Structure 1
Amino acid sequence: MFAAIDRQNVLRRSSFTLTSAIEAFLDPAIIVSVLLCSALYFNDRMGPHYLILCALSFALSFPGNVAFHEIPRRMLRKQFSNWLLFVGILGTFGVVSGYVHYFPQDLLLSWAVITPFALIGCHVLVRSTLPRVISMGQNQRVAVVAGVNDIGIRLTQQFRDNPYLGTKVLGFFDDRSSDRLQPTNGVPILDTMSRLAEFVKRHHVEAIYLALPMATQPRILQLLDDLKDTTASIYFVPDIFVTDLIQGRLDSVGGMPVVAVCETPFTGFSGVIKRASDVLLSTLILLMLTPIMAALAVGVKMSSPGPVIFKQRRYGLDGKEILVYKFRSMTATDNGAVVKQATKNDQRITPFGAFIRRTSLDELPQFVNVLQGRMSIVGPRPHAVAHNETYRKLVKGYMVRHKVKPGITGWAQVNGYRGETETVDKMEKRIEYDLEYLRNWSLSMDLWIIIKTALLVIKDRNAY
């Protein structure tokens, strides 16, 4: 599950090697081991109920998601959010089914607290030792790259920067003379394309990466024909991937291959998971906060004349106009062709409105929008229609954020881009984070954004 709920696009090994085996089995093994050690510590009899719990835990966490390539901070965030999601799913099942009563509560609590730290500790240990094991040569795959260009050089750099991938690049093949080639960062030029197949057979090369422009199709077809006499795996790295893709992936239409250049991350099962989590969380939050929302409604009504709920015109999924609900915090409610953004010490904001804006309580009615299907809990924040029409002309890729439903909170907001965007530079940074969310979405990322929002909302000073 850990790998299934984390869809960040990275270069991965496809063959069953030491690296891929550790990636798949390390997390499930640690989770089950901590459970069994906890049972031994508490002297609990390990009957069939433990076998069932171990099987469920293994099934939920397999394949694991060690993510050797990631920076430590992101690794920590991912481990805690993945584990919270795991505990939430398993805990809900245990409570609903009554299965939780078969285990001592202290044991379950210890398992829930110790496991994330055990996961992090083992990940750090493996990250520090695995490169040495791989460098011994038994778990490395020998590869070459055809084509000296930006994408080929970036590819070799990826292999250099990620020793966990277990791939050793011997060098490049290219037909041009050395004086016409760009620097290759120390990776040697081995020979011309015509000698590629011979080299592959002689040196037992296991993988060939064709980093050639799509305009050279006849040359690519000739190379593929020459390489049919080898046993090497062949990968085509099209130059389209030097562009800024959103959920770029290979697909097919009636058996005809197509490449997705700009696509929503919420297709297929991912869309079902996203919607189900939105409905479940929104329902729980609205049920828990109904008394608070009733009190806020009274406060809004008493603070100034006007409606309790302010309905804002916003762009939603696919750029279609929607109505977004908020508790009214201003005496004036601009919602037309020209909308003035709220600023610090804005005279339109009522004293009670300042409080609910600072604490984000004015956003609570948007959970109703989530249940309606207009919004999601996490996603790019919706902007006023008037602002959209302005910024879509000034910020490249601005409308791409509408490939998903707008959110109550988002990746940009938890990274400091909440509140007024008085300059184009600030809006560009907000859009940059929105597009990063689209490229890297995972359920664990959503969970982390929700947790971080809850931690930041009280001390945030960018909302007014």
Structure 2
Amino acid sequence: MKRLLDILFSLTGIVVLSPLLLYISMRIKMDTTGNIFYKQKRVGKGGKEFFLFKFRTMNAGSDKTDLLTYGTTDARITGFGSFLRRYKLDELPQLFNVLIGDMSIVGPRPEVKKYVDLYTPEQRLILNVKPGITDMASISFFNENELLATQPQPEQYYIEYIMPEKIKLNQVFITSPNVFNYFRIIALTIKKIATH
């Protein structure tokens, strides 16, 4: 049932949003040099790695210096990229990840291997389900970048506080994976973006 919903939503989203996807692609190409899309290896269901796609929001090669971004004034983020991030529009290419089956619309946000390697055996249980575009952790930590920007050691704060809290929220989700929660999280995500 969930896979059918994922196919329906992702395919519909790609078709309906195709003018927006094209516009964003053109703006990125006109504003900066480099690829339109940014791809990064993330850890999916069963610990299998896959390439997650986003619209590129940083200057080419900027991800080599740090995996995390901090606040809204990170010098690596382009002007248009900042706008895309504010409204989570940079995540739209993940509709293709959903369509091909690497991800779900709703599920734990996939992490890079560096952070997954720090999971405890209990925390690794969230790898039993497909990762998603959105989840309760994304809603609760919608301002994650701004939060990290206030910390003297952002990555350490992420590993010791934010990541464990996200995992706790996702552990609740995987114990009650029903259609009601699926639609509820989608609705809460849209509301959060609209009121941000």
TM-score interval, normalised by the smaller of the two chains: 0.7 to 0.9
Q: State the 1:411 CA deviation.
A: 1.7
The structure-2 alpha-carbon separation of the partners of 1:431 and 1:356, relative to structure 1 and needing over 3 Å to count, comes to same
Shift of 1:437: 0.3
- Residues paired across the two proteins, number: 184
TM-score, with length taken from structure 1: 0.38
**In the alignment, residue 446 of structure 1 is paired with which amino acid?**
Y
The 3 A distance-change label for structure 1 pair 334 and 274 is farther
SS of the equivalent of 1:457 reads helix
Deviations 1:64-122 (Å, cap 9, x if unpaired)? xxxxxxxxxxxxxxxxxxxxxxxxxxxxxxxxxxxxxxxxxxxxxxxxxxxxxxxxxxx
8 Å Cα contact 1:417-1:426 kept in structure 2:
no
Amino acid at match of 1:400: L
| Percent of residue pairs bearing the same amino acid type | 33
User: In structure 1, how many angstroms separate the alpha carbons of the residues matched to 2:181 and 2:50?
Assistant: 26
Task: Let me know the Cα RMSD of the aligned residues.
Answer: 1.8
More displaced 10-residue stretch of structure 1: 414-423 or 451-460: 414-423
Cα–Cα, structure 1 residues 414 and 367, in superposed 2: closer, same or farther, change >3 Å?
same
2:177 pairs with 1:441: yes
Contact conserved, 2:34 with 2:60, CA < 8 A, in 1?
Answer: no
Give the superposition deviation at 1:332: 3.7
User: Is residue 2:23 matched to residue 1:292?
Assistant: no
Q: 2:166 aligns with which of 430, 433, 441?
A: 430
Say yes or no: does 1:400 pair with 2:125: yes
* Pairing 1:411–2:139 present: no
Contact kept? 1:309, 1:325, Cα under 8 Å = yes
1:200-349 matches, within 5 Å, as 273-333=1-61, 339-344=66-71, 345-349=73-77
Q: Distance in 2 between matches of 1:320 and 1:363?
A: 21
CA separation in 1, counterparts of 2:124 and 2:12? 32
What CA distance in whole angstroms lies between the structure 1 residues aligned with 2:61 and 2:2? 32
**Larger RCO: 1 or 2 (CA < 8 Å, sep 6+):** 2
Residue 335 (structure 1) shift: 6.0
1:353 aligns with 2:81: yes
**Any idea what the Cα deviations from partners look like across 1:1-34, whole Å, max 9, x if unmatched?**
xxxxxxxxxxxxxxxxxxxxxxxxxxxxxxxxxx
Please state whether the residue corresponding to 1:341 is helix, strand or coil: coil
SS at match of 1:377: strand
1:401 Cα offset (Å): 1.4
Distance 2:26 2:128 in 1: 37
- After TM superposition, the score normalised by the length of structure 2 is 0.87
Task: Could you tell me which runs of 5 or more consecutive residues in structure 2 were left unpaired when the two chains were aligned.
Answer: 149-153
Question: Structure 1: where are the runs of 5+ without partners?
Answer: 1-272
Contact 1:339 1:386 in 2 (8 A): no
